[in-house]
Structure 1
Amino acid sequence: MLRLAFRTLRLRKGGFIGTFIAVFFGALIVASCGGLMETGIRGNAEPQRLAAAPILVTGGQTFELPKEDPASLEPDDKRKFEDARLPERVRLDDGLVSRLRSVPGVSDVVGEVSFPLAAGGKPALGHAWDSAALTPYALVAGAAPVAGEVVVESSSGAKPGDVVQIAARGKTESFRVAGVAGAPRSITQAAVFFSAADAARLSGHPGKADVIGVFTDPGADVETVRAKVAEAASGANVLTGIDRGVAEFPEAETSGTNLIVIAAVSGGLSVMVAMFVVASTLSLSTQQRSRELALMRAIGTTPRQLRRMVLGEALAVGLLATALAAVLGPVLGEWLFGQLVENGVVPSVLRFYQGWLPAVVGAGAAMLAVFIAAFVAGRRAGKIRPTEALAEAAVTRRWLTPTRVIVAALCFGGGTALAIVTVAVMTGPIAASTAGPAVILWAIGVAMITPGVAKVMTAILQWPMRLLGGIDARLAVLNTRAGIVRAAGAVTPIMLAVGIATANIYLQTTQQELANQAFTEDVRADAVIGSVAGGLSPDLVQRIQTVPGVAGASEYVTSSVFLEKPYDSSDEGRPAIGLTASGAAATTDTKVTQGDLTALTGRTVALPEVFAKDFGRGLGDTLSLRLGDGAPVDVKVVAVTSQRPGFESLLLPADLLAPHTTAGLAPQMLVRAAPDVDPAVLTERLREATAGLPVSVGDRAALVAAHDKDQAVGAWVNYLLVGMIIAYTVISVANTLVMATVRRRREFGLQRLTGSTRAQVLRMAGFEGGLVALVGIVLGTVVSAGAIVPFCLVAADSLLPMGSPLIYLTVIGLAAALALAATLVPAWAATRGPAVDAATAGSD
């Protein structure tokens, strides 16, 4: 039977193209998502400025977080703890440098600090000259710097003796160029080197090192020395090889984690869609061969032989398709990665890597779908008795099998459960985590009963169609009702495309609009002052508060903190905002239900009502926090606030939160105009007051636009990856409709021989395509509503999503146009030439 299967493939190439397309694109998308995941897991970034040191030591970016209330845990029970990642850089004490020098096999140890600055208006990183050995930079002119001097790169154009303006930590200072240095390789980030004392002062973290570079004795085994360094630097990260890149580019590790999440979500959705589309396409392909399979049963072919033949054909096509997808998967994966880099989602230093495993996963998922679909189709064909096979071959009527009923019940049950969880348990935008996956469950459930639903909808729509289209529409309705299983095969991918596109796009637009509303409602500032070089000077806020027309000014710092006491199970921390007590009330619209934001000084916190209720804390109580860099602090509750559900943040003093961020300073300041002052006038006064400082001044529109831009980056990621999946379903729509129409060449020929003109046949096909599109659009809308409505009820207190209606109109318009084009074009091709030739042609 396998030999017969291969002969069938050679003789019916056109009949298997549809299956090949579905399997190929499914495996291709899954493999490309796998490449993104592998890139994220590896997190490879080539070290550049720190490449000369074979061993790099960085602060540990995780801490042990109990999975349960610590009061009920044994300290030695490690299974009850998990690692929580700290969002800010953890620095090392300089004392570790001297301790590491005594480690056997170590020849030298260099501590390194990095801080952002602007030199001559261009962004760069500042370092101590001692750390130049980590590249190594070498002087090409001049000498090493002393206090008040710098060494610059050759590309800067400066020469020894020049004076350059350096902006750092909110101030601008003049430095004399002592020397010019060059690096042996290309360095992404420009460097400016200072004396050790100046570097410590400008970094804002004296006595701390960002990274420690360790050089080994000649001939020493790096891994052996690394193990000894790890013992001496307990709790720190000790890196060698390609892993050293994250010490220089910590954003690569964070972006790698985000890339894993993006790839996992998109890949999981891709696998489900691919398996569904492949199964649907192969099922349609087998149905179209029902007469051939029936004849084989009638002449004595056993059910087992028939199953082997169908399975062999499908696996042969699947192997060809997955082999090609395995070759092209890295190409698509690298293109997707390039798009993510270009749009700032991941840093350019992160290296794309795709080995053999993603290709195997993609091929395995596609081949599993092929096997299951072929097995089910072959089993069904083999179960029919020979005397019944020919009778059923003309029109497939039976579709509701126990398997369909069970799958539909499970999917509808799962979708309903997710909807209940979304409405009853979730709050705010996080509800999308349960509402989003529901669309696939609803889609699969509806797909299982599509023949029955399509039959009912066709019966409802037949009367208006007959009124509009006359005899051609009537024939289209009769054809659709007679071949309802075939029509359902075309309806399903349209339903899937409309459902996935509508649900995911509107979920994203609603989340983005909610975030923008929460931000604009909370921030009352008329102007914003932003840093262009590492942060604002701590004394700037007092200076701005004295500017005429200023009603209030507050530093604005964002980070995340972890609650240790009382116990909080969140492993991602809680959002925290740092404000200046004297200007907090004027620049934010946070509603205070108890206490006063003016008391937000020292070690204090303003707690959202929902947190106060959950943690059983109120005014005067104490919370034990771990700040973004892991520093523990006890804070007193001085206010309780009411904030938009899902967007709650702890409010802390800016001078408490900022030093424990990577920058160490507030990146921006909010300014509120007095009631009788025009915001435009205020903005101009602020520019005058900050003249000569490394800051930028913008109005409220600039502040909102900056926030919207940050939100748009996350939205763009979703649109890109979901768009790729939607493109696949669109291909499957065209593929399925073309397959269904091309196979009807003989039917069209017979229709023309009985008196119909070619134009009438095409009009009939057009009405069929329109009917299929309409049913698919209605079902897709219902599917998307299963995800959108619960989410919007919780997040926006509305049944309808936020976003332009043009989005939905565009989706359904494209679906209808695609359905009509994929029906009419092959119908036009099938009706070319004499009708008698078409009527006597084979079914291939």
Structure 2
Amino acid sequence: MTGLAFRSLRKRAGAFVASFLSMFLGATILMGFASMLDTAGGDNVTGTAKSTLVTMASVVGGWGLLLVVFAVTSTLTLSVRQRASEMALLKSVGATPAQLGRMIVGEAAGLAVAAALLAVPPAFLVGRGLLGLLHDTDQVPGDVSYAFGPIAVSMGLGITFVSATAAALITARRATRVRVTESLMAAAVDTGRLSKKRVVFAGLFLLVAVDLAVVTSTVMHGKGSDAMATAGQADILASIGLALLSPLIIRRVTSLLAGPLRLLGATGDLAITTMRRRTGAMAAAVTPIILFTGTAVGTLFLQATENAAMDAAGLSKTAEQKGIETLNLVVIGMVVLFTAIMLVNTLVAATAHRRREFGQTRLAGATPGQVLGTVALESVVLTVTGVACGTVASVFTIVPFGIARMDSPTPDGSVWTYLAVAALAAVITGVTAWTSARRALRAPAVEAVAA
């Protein structure tokens, strides 16, 4: 099965692009931030400079690790779900669950090693850029030289490999437990059913987010910028919790919108039908929108509230506070880049997989315009759902921090900031889905069905 795994990687390279890019970008982020630990180990690095470098590596790199593991698991799950019919065929000819599991894990391990090795050069540049940012903001002396050494490489290779294989084990266990008939049904209808473990983990993430929100608004009340330590984590945890519940959310949204969308005619009816059949894929696509919106809105408004509190007190920012602001901006940049690429990967992979579906729909009488209209409606639903859930997740950060810092649940910051985040999510989702759908529709319907 290991040999089959590597032959599958060679023959189905396009199907593994999303997972590979997630691992590649994740390894780049991990090694880039881990190189701050190599830099902190220099002979002339002491005191505040050393503390700043370690904080940058541990805080931002730690959250980057969580996002990377979540993204890799999501893309691997989507890849295996799209191969349900292939898994069913292998089972029908005698493949055991253990053999299928080794194949899936072998594919993930091969991708992880290749992605981590190729990520070394860009990670070196990312780390150098981070140190340059710290130099420019006077948080680290200019004479501290950059080091990219064994800590960065070992963490990048090790964590990427372990997270990919762990995600593959989880995915393989879920895919190999079902019977052949259930696998065939899953290939036809992707219901995205929630497992008990997924519900439990979602509940745990949300409970921790609630706990941090309560601690921020009570224990950290009146403690100044220290409240950022608890408030800044709540939106990420809440976003992950809601993302884990995304199949349930998509089903509820689809049921709610069924009536209004059918008023749009054949395109609306087709959109509702396909969304009900593709709940799992829709849930995978909405996940990065939730993460992007929740973290970006939460962090931007948290920093705006902190700036307003400093201005109200007539204080100028200290070096430590400048460092916190830099961290926040780096977090936003990392999340925007990572989730944007994750969203593009997921939408491209999901839409490319629908080439046969689009062909069947056209043979049944739908025009290319109606198919594109269906994809556009799906994109609108994804954007609205993801932005709404992300906004809810951001509340776990901005409201408690506003209470702790300004005695007000109303956050500071411009409404244009929020609209910009929502607009960026809409543009990425709409443009990617529409472009991928147009590419899938280039082939004649008969060829698409026969492929």
After alignment, is 445-454 or 737-746 more displaced? 445-454
Distance 1:16 1:365, change over 3 A: same
Match of 2:13 in 1: 13
Determine the structure 1 residue equivalent to 2:413: 803
Whether contact under 8 Å (1:510, 1:803) holds in the other structure is yes
In 2, the alpha carbon distance for the partners of 1:9 and 1:507 equals: 44
Task: Give the counterpart of 1:457 among 253, 273, 294.
Answer: 253
Q: Is the 8 A contact 1:490 1:736 kept in 2?
A: yes
| Corresponding residue number in structure 1 for 2:119 | 325
Distance verdict in 2 for CA 1:438–1:721, change over 3 Å: closer
Q: Per-residue deviation at 1:295?
A: 1.2
Residues 738, 826 of structure 1: 8 Å contact kept:
yes
Shift of 1:803: 1.0
Distance across 2 between alignment mates of 1:319 and 1:431: 39
Deviations 1:500-553 (A, max 9, x none): 111111111111211121126xxxxxxxxxxxxxxxxxxxxxxxxxxxxxxxxx
Paired residue secondary structure (2:314)? helix
Work out the CA distance in 2 between the residues paired with 1:293 and 1:285. 12
CA drift of 1:345 comes to 3.1
For residues 149-168 of structure 1, the aligned pairs below 5 Å read: none
Size of the alignment, in residue pairs? 449
Matched, 1:392 2:186: yes
Task: Tell me how far apart the structure 2 counterparts of residues 413 and 721 of structure 1 sit (CA, whole Å).
Answer: 23
Deviations 1:200-238 (A, max 9, x none): xxxxxxxxxxxxxxxxxxxxxxxxxxxxxxxxxxxxxxx
CA contact (8 A) 1:326 1:363 kept: no
Give the aligned CA root-mean-square deviation in angstroms: 1.9
**Match of residue 278, structure 2, among 483, 489, 493:** 483
Partner SS state of residue 309, structure 2: helix
Matched, 1:751 2:361: yes
Contact in 1 for aligned 2:192/2:281 (Cα 8 Å): no
Question: 1:823 is matched with which residue: 430, 433, 440?
Answer: 433
C-alpha distance after superposition, 1:672-723 (max 9, x if no partner):
xxxxxxxxxxxxxxxxxxxxxxxxxxxxxxxxxx759996665244213431
Q: Which amino acid aligns with 1:434?
A: T
Q: Deviations over 1:574-599 (max 9, x none)?
A: xxxxxxxxxxxxxxxxxxxxxxxxxx
Q: Classify the secondary structure of the residue corresponding to 1:397.
A: coil
Query: How high is the TM-score relative to the length of structure 2?
Result: 0.95
Task: Find the counterpart in structure 1 of residue 293 from structure 2.
Answer: 498
Give the whole-Å Cα distance in 2 for the aligned partners of 1:388 and 1:264.
43
Query: Which of these residues, 236, 239, 249, is aligned with residue 440 of structure 1?
Result: 236
CA distance in 2: counterparts of 1:712 and 1:268, whole angstroms: 20
Q: Does 1:513 align with 2:123?
A: no
Deviation, 1:376, is 1.4
How far the C-alpha of 1:344 sits from its partner, in A, is 3.0
Indicate the residue corresponding to 1:342 in structure 2. 136
Aligned to 2:166: 372
Paired residue for 1:23? 23
Partners of 1:298 and 1:389 within 8 A in 2? no
Provide the secondary structure at the position in 1 that maps to 2:213: helix
Assess if the C-alpha contact under 8 Å between 2:266 and 2:370 holds in 1: no
CA distance in structure 1 between the aligned counterparts of 2:318 and 2:380, rounded to whole angstroms: 39
Alignment partner of 1:267 is 2:67:
no
Cα 1:460–1:799 shift into 2, 3 Å: farther
Report what 2:336 is aligned to: 726
Q: Kindly indicate whether the alpha-carbon contact (under 8 Å) linking 1:341 and 1:348 is maintained by their aligned counterparts in 2.
A: yes
CA contact (8 A) 1:421 1:434 kept: yes
Distance in 1 (CA, whole Å) between partners of 2:432 and 2:390 is 18
Counterpart pick for 1:284 among 78, 96, 117: 78
| TM-score, structure 1 as length reference | 0.52
Q: Structure 2 unaligned runs (5+)?
A: none
Q: Over alpha carbons, which structure has the higher Rg?
A: 1
Q: Taking structure 1 as reference, are residues 398 and 718 closer, same or farther at Cα in structure 2, changes over 3 Å only?
A: closer
Structure 1 residue 369: Cα displacement:
2.0
Given that 1:35 and 1:358 are in contact with CA atoms closer than 8 Å, whether structure 2 keeps it comes out as yes
Alpha-carbon distance in structure 1 between the residues aligned to 2:206 and 2:328: 25
Q: Deviations over 1:579-633 (max 9, x none)?
A: xxxxxxxxxxxxxxxxxxxxxxxxxxxxxxxxxxxxxxxxxxxxxxxxxxxxxxx
Q: 1:266 touches 1:722 (CA, 8 Å); kept in 2?
A: no
Displacement of 1:726 after TM fit?
A: 2.3
1:4 maps to which residue? 4
- Compare the two structures and name the one with the higher strand fraction: 1
Q: How does 1:601-680 map to 2 (within 5 A)?
A: none
Conservation of the 8 A alpha-carbon contact between 1:512 and 1:712:
no
Map 1:146-185 → 2, pairs under 5 A? none
Contact 2:271 2:374 in 1 (8 A): yes
Amino acid of the structure 2 residue aligned with 1:330:
F
**Counterpart-to-counterpart distance in 1, 2:423 and 2:245:** 25
Q: Name the structure 2 match of 1:590.
A: none
Distance in 2 (CA, whole Å) between partners of 1:13 and 1:261 is 38
Structure 2 CA distance for partners of 1:754 and 1:369, relative to 1, 3 Å: same
CA shift, 1:436, in A, is 1.1
The separation in 1 between residues aligned to 2:47 and 2:145, in whole angstroms, is 11
Q: Identify, as 1 or 2, the structure richer in helix.
A: 2
Task: For residue 314 of structure 1, report the CA deviation from its aligned partner.
Answer: 1.1
Structure 1: gaps spanning 5 or more residues: 45-242, 247-251, 521-705
Distance 2:353 2:450 in 1: 13
Whole-angstrom CA distance in 1 between matches of 2:320 and 2:214: 31
